[in-house]
Amino acid sequence: MTIDELYRKILLIGRRANYRPEELRRKFLDALPLSWLEKAEDIGEHLPLDELAKKLYEIELCRIARHKRDRIPDPLAVAQKAQALAPQIVEPVRQPRGPPSSLQSEEGLKNYYVAEYLKELGLFNKNDLDSAYPVKPFQRPRP
């Protein structure tokens, strides 16, 4: 995303959310990558947001043109791609297979809830409940 695209997106969101100018500026600066944030601080904090975004965009266009001319990769683009391509560890989540067959029908589920209620009242013991509704490996044990 270019600086100009970022600026336009922040403006659009700001209009919808009725942000004040200082809030827009803060959101814009928060969304900038660190290297661009340093450049924004170097340019000056006294500039209005639209002028700051315009100057940053001009710097970005000059950098892109220079790197295309010299045919060397843009260090900012390389850094952003490296961050995006950083290996992410994703652990698989074990999905339950589903409820026991006795609980797959509405009637079976009602019977289970009645049995749980009777167990809480003391009219039904835990052994009877466990024999009728055994704990499957994916389920947590009942207290």
Residues 33 and 68 in one domain: yes
Closest CA relative to residue 8, chosen from 48, 54, 45: 54
- For residue 139, tell me if it sits in a domain: no
Segment 93-106 shows an average pLDDT of: 64
- For residue 95, tell me if it sits in a domain: no
pLDDT band at 13 (very low <50, low <70, confident <90, very high): confident
Does residue 141 have a pLDDT over 80?
no
Residues 58 and 128 in one domain: no
Residues 14 and 52 in one domain: yes
Q: What gap in Å lies between CA 52 and CA 4, rounded to an integer?
A: 11
Q: DSSP string spanning 1-13?
A: --HHHHHHHHHHH
Segment 4-28 shows an average pLDDT of: 87
Enclosing domain of residue 36:
3-84
Residue 59 near residue 71, CB atoms below 8 Å: no
Q: pTM of this prediction? A: 0.46
Report the domain count for the chain: 2
Give the HSE-up count for residue 110: Cα atoms under 13 Å, Cβ half-sphere: 3
